């Protein structure tokens, strides 16, 4: 354990993890409406928080956060920020995501996935791949999506799923999400549909499965889900939990970490030491460069060695005196 403790000094960076999920287990149907909680299989599925807790224990790095939740049943890409990188979590959270989803028609569950209890069944119409593709296309672009009842969204200071499990009457919020691509991978008649999805942050694939079933004239739930991409991070570069644990035991977790600010989806400005000093002291500076994130006017400030020093915000819509005013938004150094 001493080697793990020594390696802690190097634990600033990003850790790309391949989280295990239900699709790594033998497929099981949803629980019938007659079954009680005690009748359900006792398979332990890991939440995103569970993954963070394990890495925290193995590494002894207390400052760890993730950039976007994966449901316990889902597998795939989970991006963790360690040490100084935790200050950048919010800037990684809004990236596009890609998934491979397996959707089953003919039944609806209370959780909208295969871990829940069947609350409705419906006949399945005769479908063709072309008909499914047309229906998928109707979900492209901006859509109003109602979150699942069993979700981590907070209402009245408490998560929806806790209130739902107590039997309280809750209404899941509706919000605008975007689907950029919905590609049918495989249709196994009569009920199994595999889809590749590219969507905005905040989109619920469980809700998409539920809504797709209704649009096809039936009911549906999400059988399996795997996240394959977050922004520019791909599943091919992800590490298994066992590999992370082994690296921690051997005191080489730093070998698995990507640099702080790696592939941050913001333009960069390389600045001299004096400008960085002024920004770090909260002063407004005038820069010739205007490049920034169009929505939030944010950019990355780097030093002469191209190290990420902080996040800066452009204050002006138009140039003033031949430049733009900038101020530090988040400072790491």
Q: With b meaning 16 or more CB within 10 Å and e meaning fewer, what string describes 54-87?
A: bbeebbebeebbbbbebbbbbbbbbbbbbbbbbb
Residue 146 tokens, joined: 């109602």
Can you say whether residue 54 is alpha, beta or left, with left for phi > 0 and alpha for psi between -120 and 50 degrees?
alpha
Report the candidate in 263, 220, 236, 1 with the shortest Cα–Cα distance to residue 116: 220
- Whether 305 contacts 317, CB under 8 Å: no
190 upstream amide cis, omega within 30 of 0 = yes
Provide the annotated active-site residues. Answer: 71
How far from 317 is each of 59, 140, 297, 313, 326, CA to CA, in Å?
44, 32, 9, 11, 11
Give the number of other Cβ atoms within 10 Å of residue 268's Cβ: 15
Residue 130 tokens, joined: 């072309």
Where is 54: in which H helix or E strand?
A: helix 48-59
């Amino acid at each position: 354990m001493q080697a793990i403790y020594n390696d802690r000094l190097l634990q600033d960076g990003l850790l790309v993890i391949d989280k295990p999920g239900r699709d790594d287990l033998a497929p099981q149907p949803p629980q019938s409406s007659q079954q009680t909680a005690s009748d359900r299989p006792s398979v332990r599925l890991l939440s995103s928080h569970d993954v963070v807790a394990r890495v925290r224990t193995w590494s002894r790095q207390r400052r760890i956060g993730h950039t976007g939740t994966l449901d316990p049943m889902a597998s795939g890409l989970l991006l963790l920020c360690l040490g100084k990188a935790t200050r950048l979590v919010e800037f990684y959270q809004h990236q596009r995501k890609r998934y491979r989803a397996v959707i089953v028609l003919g039944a609806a569950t209370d959780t909208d996935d295969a871990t829940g209890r069947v609350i409705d069944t419906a006949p399945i119409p005769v479908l063709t791949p072309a008909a499914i593709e047309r229906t998928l296309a109707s979900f492209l672009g901006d859509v109003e999506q109602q979150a699942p009842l069993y979700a981590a969204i907070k209402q009245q200071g408490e998560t929806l799923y806790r209130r739902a499990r107590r039997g309280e009457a809750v209404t899941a919020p509706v919000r605008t999400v975007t689907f950029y691509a919905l590609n049918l991978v495989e249709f196994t008649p009569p009920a199994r549909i595999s889809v590749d999805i590219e969507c905005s942050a905040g989109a619920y694939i469980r809700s998409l499965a539920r809504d797709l079933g209704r649009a096809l004239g039936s009911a549906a739930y999400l059988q399996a889900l795997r996240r394959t991409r977050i922004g520019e991070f791909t599943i091919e570069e992800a590490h298994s939990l066992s590999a992370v644990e082994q690296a921690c035991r051997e005191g080489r977790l730093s070998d698995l970490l990507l640099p702080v600010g790696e592939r941050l989806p913001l333009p960069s400005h390389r600045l001299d030491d004096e400008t960085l000093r002024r920004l770090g002291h909260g002063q407004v500076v005038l820069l010739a460069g205007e490049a920034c994130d169009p929505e939030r006017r944010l950019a990355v400030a780097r030093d002469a060695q191209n190290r990420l020093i902080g996040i800066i915000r452009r204050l002006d819509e138009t140039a003033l005196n031949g430049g733009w005013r900038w101020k530090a938004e988040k400072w790491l150094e």
